[in-house]
Amino acid sequence: MKDLYLLKIGGSVITDLSKPNTVASGPVTIGTLLGEAYEAYSSGGFDLIIGHGSGSFGHVAAAQYKVNEGLAYSNSKLMALITHMTAKQLDDILIGEGIKLEIPLYPFSPANFSVADNGELGDGFCSHIAEAIEKGFIPVVYGDVVMDRSKGVSIASTEKVLDFIAREIKPKKVLYGSDTDGVFTANPKEHPDAEHIKAIDSSNIEQALENTGVSKTRVDVTGGMETKLAKLYETCKHTGAEGYIFNITRPGMLKAMLLGVANPEFYTVVRA
């Protein structure tokens, strides 16, 4: 079996966060990103699973319908369903773009392969995903509303879903594509003088987590950069994978990351 890479495409990159249920208009689009990923994949050097965030699709619905509170209200079940369908809509769009480009993607929702307990993905299975890889597909997963033993339902973020899969099918690399050149000493959107952090390991993870406090300017029911970094570090710790947070909005960057030839100024490497 080839090395397995797990790639996360940030929801804030492929959707317009200022408008609910709207795909980003460019210059970076779902199509350009899938094209880059597929070009790299076609080199034959690695297997790939893609996970994408929900951005202004699932996150707006999840926040509006208070899905994180589980089945707390009389209409919670319907709201969970609507949120699930909203997340699926973006997934359908992404898969549709893949079909146009003749890329053999295949979608898998975490609602269909795992049960959560108090927000943590627990028992489930990935053998069908492994089988899809074996057959030459690129499985696509996404953040979704899942059944939850304690809360009724909960949100499985894309990072949690990739972490769950990583524990089952050990990846070599886990790559999170977002809209900054990796992790900085402070949010670079609010602090232009923030410094780029080249590498994060056990010596500076605590400090880095402090520097990535939840952004107040974004709709993100799954927690912002701090939660993402914490989850990526955990995934690396449990699986031995190398993690990367990189700027997927730079043209050519995704392809270069997957081929292992990217400029280190535009990413942060995470080794637990």
Residues that bind ligand ADP (CB under 6 A): 10-13, 53, 178-180, 183-184, 186-189, 211-212, 215, 218, 220, 224-225
CB 78, min distance to ligand ADP, A: 26
Q: Min. distance of Cβ 228 from ligand ADP in angstroms?
A: 6
Q: Which is nearer to ligand ADP, 164 or 184 (CB)?
A: 184
* DSSP 8-state symbol, 102: T
Smaller CB distance to ligand ADP: residue 2 or 189? 189
Nearer to ligand ADP, 48 or 248 (CB): 248
* Residue facing ligand ADP at closest CB distance: 10
Nearer to ligand ADP, 76 or 228 (CB): 228
Q: Among candidates 100, 37, 44, which has minimal Cα distance to 252? A: 37
Residue 200 CB, nearest distance to ligand ADP (Å)?
A: 11
Q: Transcribe 234-264 into DSSP letters.
A: HHHHHH--EEEEEETTSTTHHHHHHHT---G
Residues 148, 154 contacting (CB under 8 angstroms): yes
Q: How far is CA 204 from the centre of its chain?
A: 23
β-strands 3-9, 173-178 pairing = parallel
In angstroms, give the least distance from the CB of 27 to ligand ADP.
16
Sheet holding 138-142, edge to edge: 105-108, 138-142, 46-52, 3-9, 173-178, 242-247, 267-270, 199-200
* CB 33, min distance to ligand ADP, A: 12
Is the CB of residue 168 less than 8 Å from the CB of residue 63? no
Give the nearer residue to ligand ADP in terms of CB position, either 76 or 211: 211
